[in-house]
Structure 1
Amino acid sequence: MQGRRSSTFSRLLRHGFTDPGTAERLLNGDALSAVRSDPVLLDALGATADPDQALLGLVRLAEALADGERRTLLDTLTAAKPLRDRLLGVLGASEALGDHLARHPGDWHALVTYEAADLHPGVDDFERVLTAAADPDALRRGYRRCLLGIAARDVCGTGDLVRIAAELADLATATLRAALAMAAAEQPQDAAACRLSVIGMGKCGGHELNYVSDVDVIFVAEPPGGDQAPASPAGDPGAPFDEGRAVQAATRLAARMMRICSDTTAEGTIWPVDANLRPEGKNGPLVRTLSSHLAYYKRWAKTWEFQALLKARPVAGDAALGAAYMDAIRPMVWQAADREHFVTDVQQMRRRVVDNIPAAQVERELKLGPGGLRDVEFAVQLLQLVHGRTDTSLRSGTTLTALADLAAGGYVGRADAASLDDAYRFLRLMEHRIQLQKLRRTHLVPDTEADLRRLGRGLGFRADPLAGLNGEWKRHAREVRRLHEKLFYRPLLDAVAQLGPDDTRLRPGAARERLQALGYADPAAAIRHLEALASGVSRKAAIQRTLLPVLLAWFADSADPDAGLLGFRKVSDALGRTPWYLRLLRDEGAAAQRLARVLSSGRLAPDLLMRAPEAVALLGTPDGLRPPGHAALEQEVLAAVGRADTPEQGAAAVRGIRRRELFRTAAADLIDTYGDDVEHDEPTAPAEWDPGALVDRVAAAVYGLTSATLSGALRAAVRSVTDGDAQPLPSRFAVIAMGRFGGRELGYGSDADVLFVHEPREGVDQTEAARAAGAVADELRRLLQVPTADPPLIIDADLRPEGKSGPLVRSLASYQAYYRRWSLVWERHALLRAAPVAGDPGLGERFVALIDPYRYPEAGLDDEAVREIRRLKARMESERMPRGSDPTTHAKLGRGGLSDVEWTVQLLQLEHAARLPSLRTTGTRRALAAATAEGLVDAADAAVLDDAWVLATRVRNAVMLVRGRPGDTFPGDSRELAAVARYLGYPPGHVGDMLEDYRRRTRRARAVVERLFYEG
């Protein structure tokens, strides 16, 4: 007997029970007799935050049920895991909801239906439950029933923190509406005498409510005749539009609504409704008219009141009046930052909140204490109110949404935002679990071992709940406090402070030592740049003295700090008189950091920027580095050509747009590769860093601007040939992209391989049509090949029939005749990447229809054709590799490089695309993925090939970014080689690792190519 008891005790202890004696007694009681031996029940209890509490709650619920209903509960409990998890999870996390179920045992049915992870009940769903309540107690019961479902989704993980907080806010909204409707039904005369709108404030307004919180509101009322109805004559109590009577009636309604929610009865209370955020607080009238609100906010409101209004939203009552209130108030909120001492006032208010916390509670205060929730909220709100004046994307009332918007806009570093997001979620989850236990409004971390243990287990710390909870809580609190100090008190100058006073003064002696320590190769030249930028007493020089210490450190976090500083001086000289330039760098920390990255990461982006310095503005806006859509870009290019007086001017306009977009693409690539944050010693790519995604994005952007450039140049060429569109071109004309262009795989230095095709218009002489089409092609190439300082766009038409010996332009019929009679294997191979890119779209489609049978042959390839392709590949490897090149590091033609991967994939397309339509794509990665899905390539082999192709592409892009000219091999210059390594993600001093990794990964790819391409 004693042995069995010891065994039971041990089992209960292993499942997390702290009072196994009581647990055994409860399990052996009559209430659970039907399930006491079911091991599933014990496992489920052990998975809860507090197994002892969950078991006691289950017993109380079972005892409260009639015999038949109890059997139904227990049968369902053991058979249905969703109910088991939800019911026991709630009972283990909330003593208060256990009490509710003991009083209203039938409410367990509210937990039977499994809520899928994507289910998010809203206000309407909650209203359907609450509007059925006949009296305030019924409303309280309905509220608790809805709360059961929210808590179940919460503790079972089918709703995350943001969703649960939003559901709680929606439940509060539905409750306010039901309470207001109840008050109106009790006081119909008052309801008829006014229009009343309830404005949600605080966490309710921000859609991020706690389980138990005062629901902050503001009341606004108007007479029941419309916003513009005239007031009645004084002293006429029967007039229909008397504001005084309306306010009195609304006040009675509002007061009754508040009591319905706040009063405590046998059913408990819902939550207090707090109207103290209204004008004049407790000393002001409970309800005001809209004009009275506006008069107060215009004349008397304090800074904190506008900060509070940031979260305001209508939640109940007259919707039109609520919308009118928001339309009137919102502009005031976003002008508040213009008030004198605004930032100082907000900072002082936060300090006062901390100072007023009792000393005995400050270490346990989860909400108001240092490193608590308010630190996150105040920092986010301050940044919102400052930057949201001009950026409407920052105006969310929800803290985490606003934080994400700030990060997306560059106002907060991505790493900082991620840390704050993680910390805020964890702290709010702690707050939720603490409040859920007794459904009491508290923000203090408990101090008893039992409560802390329950809290830790509820947050997932099972092995050592107390140590796990304390360690994670303190870690997040420290991070919140650090970032709060950085963003809230020193949002712009935190990096300057870290450099020290000597660095910020830029004195010659200290500067020389500092520059040498930072890695500047020519400190004397660097000092000359600093003196030119920062000397004098002008406002521009003062701002530069603030910026330069930060920029110097950012430049130093690159392979070529000297080039970065020189580039910054050139840009500043070009834009120094432009008022927005330094303001952009001073006020938008992300813009300055991005500029530093761009200027110090190679030659291509700075060279482009020097020719169009105003493109710096792209670095300071939330969407500045996002390329425009292809349609929008093409429309801009064609419009620019249309405005030009001559074809040459049109082509110049096209080149200008191309220059800007190439800079945008290069800058975005560099910034996303290195990451926005430079608070680390070595460059670390962001968490979402994906080389393949970066390559695809660059390729898509360069393809878009290249195709738009061709469309614009084609329009200019046609206008030139037809004398300014005086006569229509006698032939339809289309440009077909080939090679990397057709595959949408262009890099920064890629040529544009094309074919030109025309089709005479009906009734036009064939010779005349051919002559005009040839003139257009010649003019297009002439316009694009005008020598400029921009990276050239070389139009290569050598893949046309008969190569350089053949006509530049052919008619569609001529292409058909040629491919039918004369096409060679390599030409059909080249057609795999053909795709229309500019000119007449119908003609482009007809060309594709013409070539499909040749590039996707119905019979595949015979053995001789396969041997021919292999011979061509082997010949290319031996003859086209530049003399002296290392075949192990040549990105295009070398071992495991682009050519190896592409020819392997294209051979599969030639052999199988006729029967497998998924292979009919012009892109290498897309075709490789399709071949893998079709079972033609093993997934592991495909991964090796894809990795090598992406790596080789990134090497070519890196060389162009670093050197400003295309290349297929790693640079010989040590500084350039180091810059390539930094672009590829290697820390300083790891160039050897980069080369070794490249050789290893491409060697693996070559082994796959040998098997798939050469051996078949």
Structure 2
Amino acid sequence: MAESRTPERRSSLTGRLARLGFTDAARAERLLLDEGQGLADDVLDVLSATADPDLALDGLVRLLASADEQGAGRELREALADEPGTRERLAAVLGVSDALGDHLVRHPEHWRVLRGGDDAPPGNPRADLLTAVGADPSAGEPVASGSCHDALVALRVAYRRRVLALAGRDLTGEADVVMVAAELADLAAAALEAGLAIARAEVPEHGLCRLAVIGMGKCGGRELNYVSDVDVIFVAEPREGEPEEAALRAATRLAAALVRSCSASTQEGALWEVDAALRPEGKAGPLVRTLASHRAYYERWAKTWEFQALLKARPVAGDADLGDRYLDMITPIVWKAAEGESFVEDVQAMRRRVEADLNQRTPDSERQLKLGPGGLRDVEFAVQLLQLVHGRADETLRARATLDALTDLSRGGYVGRDDAAALAAAYRFLRRVEHLVQLHRLRRTHLVPDDEAGLRRLGRALGLRADPVAEFTALWRRHARGVRRLHEKLFYRPLLLAVARLAGTEARLTPAAARARLEALGYADPAGALRHIEALTSGVSRRAAIQRTLLPVMLGWFADAPDPDAGLLGFRKVSDALGATPWYLRLLRDDVTVAERMSWVLGSSRYATDLLLRAPEAVAMLGSDADLVPRPFEVLRAEALAAVRRHGDGSASAEDAVAVVRGLRRRELFRAATADLLGRTEVETVGETLTGIAAVTVEAALQAAVNKIETESGEPLPTRFAVVAMGRFGGHELGYGSDADVMFVHDPDPGADEREAGRAAHAVAEELRRLLARPAPDPPLEIDPNLRPEGRRGPLVRTLASYAAYYARWSEPWEAQALLRADPLIGDAGLRDRFQALIDPVRWPDGGIDDGAVRQIRRLKARMESERLPRGADRRLHTKLGPGGLADVEWVAQLLQLQHAHEIPGLRTTRTLDALDAAVQARLLDAEDAAVLAEAWCLATRIRGAIMLVRGRASDLLPTDHHRERSAIAVVLGYAAAGDLLEDYRRRARRARAVVDRAFYGADQ
């Protein structure tokens, strides 16, 4: 700086420094003129942008003086002038951390780590710190004998050097708070490893034992502060052949020496306290235990808070294999702990005790970033409780770090997206402030300063410039209030907001008032509803208490569903089945989404309710949209076939295997039905999903049948066997009540006796049908083979050659039309390919079909319309055979396929909507006409599905004689009233029929 000492220039400099943010401009001026000669204006500008310009200038002047003493001052001044990044990082550190300024004065050469690049500390902190203390990073040997004190000093110097480099990146925004916390945890783990190398030099008998250091708390979760106690647990085992007692003595000495190596004070200070108080029995228990001792304690004596603490356990130093064994041992115990009867209450009670104790001990608890109301611990406790409750069944929730766990909870639907975002933003802010507070003196503190200078430094470090003190205080208080509100919601009263929406609903009403209230809500049988409520809430059990919390909310949600009475009855039945299961009511209480969705499903669908009553544990999938997404076909197939393999061979085994597979089908049907009822899926996806479920079920039953036949005969099946899906099954358009139309085909092995092969194939087909027809607590899957050649009069199973001969000689046009939806889905892959190759020329004949075949198909369609409608049915409301219904649309698509699929590959599909799209692409069908047909087909399909979902039994006819059912179907489909549904269906069907008359019947109509 070239400023002279004239009074005019000094006055000008003082004013400039004041404008730049120096609070003691006169002192700053003296430092600059007396000791800061040669500093460029760029340096002054960057100092003025720091959190505390006065502190930064003071630190820089002291550093320059120290560097000059070591002959390095010129290099530092050149770097300040020529390296903007170095200048910014150094100024940022000096403007926040007095302690790191002191470190730089003691070790002025360390400023170079703020350059980055080759001057930054090496990437591996473990190797760096082990090398610093004189230990071989690859061997795990002790440091040289007699040099322990020097090693302690070297460890602290190397550790602070890395902290300095990290702080430079942190304070200039090159590393966010999550990255900083993770690197600090890794650095602490490296220091523990180096401390262990020093400890080995103090304990000659260290070779008797294996010792692992388990990081706990923020160290284990990789979310450590700049200055924090490092929580650990020690686990040891004797080396092979060594006595356990002697090994444990050696391990205890080694662990104690490790604690001292990190905690001991030297001329370079201490690192931090190593705190082993989270070990079994706390400070009263042995410092070191074996794996077996740890297991015994946690299985018999551990308290709730100890399992919560173990959420973050992670091997950080010492014997890595032993550390992994400890983690493998403890993890199942941790996640089983939440099944305890009073687990949630215990965690909540402990939190209340901590808060009460804090208020008594700490007069300034409001300034506590960690333990105060709306502080870090509020976020951590809420997240950890939700993890422990839901993470038992959902392994995606088992992240150690708070923000990672919060993200997983939000993704799974356990915490709302907005709530999770608000908590995450607040947690990041509070951790950032905590880091800044600790960096100032490198002391363990969680208190927000109460002096203006400290608040100003925090505000400026966070980028607040207009009024740093006021802006910081407002931002901090806003985050704290938000955290406290969400903590109360998630940790104590997960249904708080939902209950608030029912304000005015008294918990205790007279019977008459309660009946009136229920009747007003829409319950048709209020007396029956009262009986259900009484059965659910009476008594003093914890189960009844939770029900008393849930029901005021759920009664309102049932009332929003089409059939409140059915919803409440279904809830009582499910609760009777699952009420003694600890997770069930906790799930409803802790996750509003599950309770609300369950209310809608039970009050809307007898079909879904019946499925849930048969597999009540499926209620758990209601909490997450991801759990309602259909599982991939190959995943289901693998699970079903694995069940068959597990049950081996034989009749009883086949029945057991198929029972398991039908349980799988039951669960997946509930998933599909629930997603449909909640509007989370499209009509095509429903058909594809139901088809996949049916195909998996049939394939597993086929394998079980083959296993049984082979076991009984003692010989492999002498023929290859396949199942051809037909009709809606082959079209991948199954509904909830659809039969599985199939044909069976087999192909004898070379050299096999054809009669024997035929008998074996027939036995397999009959056994498959028998297995799937056995009474079971799930909707039946009827196997209908009547679309086979010659219908019921023809053989149940044919050889591939027999099919070829039949289609070559006897096939009628309607049979070619039926083959349009044939899809060989199941069985021997080679046979399926050969069968498809056989039927493709039949259903997609070269040159298309002639006019005679077209006329025959049109006559058949007209006859079907007149003969197959149920007597007395209103044909306009028949979704399948009525005008503009499913058959109309499908026959248009199929006629175009028969005529043109030989030349248009896109028409070679078994799916109706795909065929319409292909016809538009080929200009065979007007796009607007195709859209009319597709809309009518989709609505008719949705109506058939809704009828099955609401009534629990299939029908093709929209109900007209049952107002409540008709209204329920309309509501499930998203219509405000049944009349709106009828009007929309009739309008779409009329438009579709007009297209059918043109596109299907044409001039011959």
**TM-score of the alignment, normalized to the shorter chain, above 0.5:** yes
Following superposition, the deviation at residue 637 of structure 1 comes to 5.9
Taking a change above 3 Å as real, the CA distance of residues 571 and 760 of structure 1, as seen in their structure-2 partners, is same
AA aligned to 1:734 is: A
AA aligned to 2:221 is: G
2:232 equivalent among 195, 217, 227: 217
Following superposition, the deviation at residue 842 of structure 1 comes to 3.6
AA aligned to 2:876 is: G
Q: Distance in 2 between matches of 1:17 and 1:912?
A: 77
Q: Are 1:752 and 1:793, in contact at CA under 8 Å, matched by a contact in 2? A: yes
The residue matched to 1:104 in structure 2 has which SS?
helix
1:691 equivalent among 668, 678, 681: 681
Following superposition, the deviation at residue 771 of structure 1 comes to 7.2
Q: Distance in 1 between matches of 2:950 and 2:534?
A: 27
**Equivalent position of 1:351 in the other structure:** 352
1:173 partnered with 2:189 = yes
1:840-989 alignment runs, 5 A limit: 840-850=828-838, 883-885=875-877, 893=885, 913=905, 956-966=944-954, 975-976=964-965, 979-980=968-969, 983=972, 986=974, 989=976
Q: Distance in 1 between matches of 2:997 and 2:611?
A: 41
Gaps of 5+ in 2: 1-18, 134-150, 870-874
AA aligned to 1:257 is: C
The residue matched to 1:520 in structure 2 has which SS?
coil
AA aligned to 1:372 is: G
Q: Distance in 2 between matches of 1:380 and 1:323?
A: 25
Q: Distance in 2 between matches of 1:194 and 1:782?
A: 63
Following superposition, the deviation at residue 229 of structure 1 comes to 0.8
Q: Are 1:130 and 1:178, in contact at CA under 8 Å, matched by a contact in 2? A: yes
Q: What is the CA deviation profile of residues 471-504 of structure 1, one whole-angstrom value per residue up to 9, with x for unaligned ones?
A: 8866664554344335544579997898789854
Following superposition, the deviation at residue 1007 of structure 1 comes to 14
Following superposition, the deviation at residue 584 of structure 1 comes to 5.9
Q: Distance in 1 between matches of 2:158 and 2:383?
A: 35
AA aligned to 1:256 is: S
Q: What is the CA deviation profile of residues 94-141 of structure 1, one whole-angstrom value per residue up to 9, with x for unaligned ones?
A: 768996898634324535899xxxxxx9x9943234333255566556
**Equivalent position of 1:237 in the other structure:** none
Following superposition, the deviation at residue 255 of structure 1 comes to 0.4
Taking a change above 3 Å as real, the CA distance of residues 547 and 758 of structure 1, as seen in their structure-2 partners, is same
The residue matched to 2:213 in structure 1 has which SS?
strand
Q: Distance in 1 between matches of 2:661 and 2:291?
A: 52
User: How many residues are matched?
Assistant: 922
Q: Distance in 1 between matches of 2:340 and 2:757?
A: 70
1:379 equivalent among 333, 358, 382: 382
Q: Distance in 1 between matches of 2:62 and 2:822?
A: 72
1:414 partnered with 2:421 = no
Calculate the TM-score normalised by the size of structure 2. 0.68
**Equivalent position of 1:118 in the other structure:** none
The residue matched to 1:314 in structure 2 has which SS?
strand
1:203 equivalent among 207, 218, 223: 218
Q: What is the CA deviation profile of residues 423-474 of structure 1, one whole-angstrom value per residue up to 9, with x for unaligned ones?
A: 4422331133224446255545678999889978998999999999888866
1:631 partnered with 2:654 = no
1:251 equivalent among 250, 256, 281: 256
Q: Are 1:734 and 1:839, in contact at CA under 8 Å, matched by a contact in 2? A: yes
**Equivalent position of 1:3 in the other structure:** none
Q: Distance in 2 between matches of 1:1003 and 1:69?
A: 87
The residue matched to 2:720 in structure 1 has which SS?
strand
The residue matched to 1:691 in structure 2 has which SS?
coil
Q: Are 2:410 and 2:420, in contact at CA under 8 Å, matched by a contact in 1? A: no
Taking a change above 3 Å as real, the CA distance of residues 948 and 146 of structure 1, as seen in their structure-2 partners, is farther
Q: Distance in 1 between matches of 2:931 and 2:95?
A: 46
1:838 partnered with 2:826 = yes
The residue matched to 1:759 in structure 2 has which SS?
strand
Structure with larger Rg? 2
Q: Distance in 2 between matches of 1:346 and 1:307?
A: 8
Taking a change above 3 Å as real, the CA distance of residues 931 and 898 of structure 1, as seen in their structure-2 partners, is closer
The residue matched to 2:415 in structure 1 has which SS?
helix
Q: Distance in 2 between matches of 1:862 and 1:807?
A: 31
Taking a change above 3 Å as real, the CA distance of residues 796 and 264 of structure 1, as seen in their structure-2 partners, is farther
Q: What is the CA deviation profile of residues 569-588 of structure 1, one whole-angstrom value per residue up to 9, with x for unaligned ones?
A: 5567xxx5x78657664454
**Equivalent position of 1:428 in the other structure:** 427
**Equivalent position of 2:313 in the other structure:** 312
Q: Distance in 1 between matches of 2:936 and 2:77?
A: 64
Q: Are 1:896 and 1:948, in contact at CA under 8 Å, matched by a contact in 2? A: no
AA aligned to 1:962 is: V
Q: What is the CA deviation profile of residues 324-371 of structure 1, one whole-angstrom value per residue up to 9, with x for unaligned ones?
A: 766787788678779998766644442343342588754453322223
Q: Distance in 2 between matches of 1:553 and 1:631?
A: 42
Following superposition, the deviation at residue 962 of structure 1 comes to 1.8
The residue matched to 1:370 in structure 2 has which SS?
coil
Q: Distance in 1 between matches of 2:972 and 2:571?
A: 20
Q: Are 1:49 and 1:89, in contact at CA under 8 Å, matched by a contact in 2? A: yes
**Equivalent position of 2:667 in the other structure:** 664
Following superposition, the deviation at residue 663 of structure 1 comes to 3.9
Q: Distance in 2 between matches of 1:35 and 1:160?
A: 25
Q: Are 1:495 and 1:550, in contact at CA under 8 Å, matched by a contact in 2? A: yes
**Equivalent position of 1:556 in the other structure:** 559
**Equivalent position of 1:752 in the other structure:** 740
AA aligned to 2:218 is: K
**Equivalent position of 1:481 in the other structure:** 484
AA aligned to 2:190 is: A
AA aligned to 1:311 is: K
Gaps of 5+ in 1: 1-15, 78-82, 115-120, 232-240, 676-684
Q: Are 2:248 and 2:289, in contact at CA under 8 Å, matched by a contact in 1? A: no
Q: Distance in 1 between matches of 2:917 and 2:60?
A: 57
Taking a change above 3 Å as real, the CA distance of residues 246 and 673 of structure 1, as seen in their structure-2 partners, is same
Cα RMSD for the two superposed structures: 7.0
Taking a change above 3 Å as real, the CA distance of residues 263 and 895 of structure 1, as seen in their structure-2 partners, is farther
1:562-601 alignment runs, 5 A limit: 562-569=565-572, 581=580, 585-589=584-588, 596-601=599-604
Q: Are 2:636 and 2:696, in contact at CA under 8 Å, matched by a contact in 1? A: no
AA aligned to 2:518 is: L
Following superposition, the deviation at residue 374 of structure 1 comes to 1.3
1:370 equivalent among 370, 373, 376: 373
The residue matched to 2:191 in structure 1 has which SS?
helix
**Equivalent position of 2:139 in the other structure:** none
Q: What is the CA deviation profile of residues 840-885 of structure 1, one whole-angstrom value per residue up to 9, with x for unaligned ones?
A: 444224324555678899xxx9799999999989997998698314
The residue matched to 1:216 in structure 2 has which SS?
strand
Following superposition, the deviation at residue 735 of structure 1 comes to 0.6
Q: Are 2:113 and 2:119, in contact at CA under 8 Å, matched by a contact in 1? A: no
- Further displaced range: 666-675 or 311-320: 666-675
The residue matched to 1:631 in structure 2 has which SS?
helix
Q: What is the CA deviation profile of residues 216-272 of structure 1, one whole-angstrom value per residue up to 9, with x for unaligned ones?
A: 2244567x75596154xxxxxxxxx3765664454234302333xx7673xx87554
Taking a change above 3 Å as real, the CA distance of residues 849 and 443 of structure 1, as seen in their structure-2 partners, is farther
AA aligned to 1:522 is: D
The residue matched to 1:199 in structure 2 has which SS?
strand
**Equivalent position of 2:112 in the other structure:** 106
Following superposition, the deviation at residue 204 of structure 1 comes to 0.8
**Equivalent position of 2:691 in the other structure:** 703
**Equivalent position of 1:524 in the other structure:** 527
**Equivalent position of 2:617 in the other structure:** 617
Taking a change above 3 Å as real, the CA distance of residues 944 and 584 of structure 1, as seen in their structure-2 partners, is farther
The residue matched to 2:826 in structure 1 has which SS?
strand
Q: Distance in 1 between matches of 2:947 and 2:62?
A: 71
Q: Distance in 1 between matches of 2:502 and 2:117?
A: 58
Q: What is the CA deviation profile of residues 768-805 of structure 1, one whole-angstrom value per residue up to 9, with x for unaligned ones?
A: 75677567657766876789996453445576568889
- Further displaced range: 208-217 or 803-812: 803-812
AA aligned to 2:219 is: C
AA aligned to 1:750 is: S
AA aligned to 1:128 is: A
Taking a change above 3 Å as real, the CA distance of residues 580 and 444 of structure 1, as seen in their structure-2 partners, is same
Percent identical across equivalent pairs?
Answer: 49
Taking a change above 3 Å as real, the CA distance of residues 905 and 86 of structure 1, as seen in their structure-2 partners, is farther
AA aligned to 1:703 is: T
**Equivalent position of 2:243 in the other structure:** 229
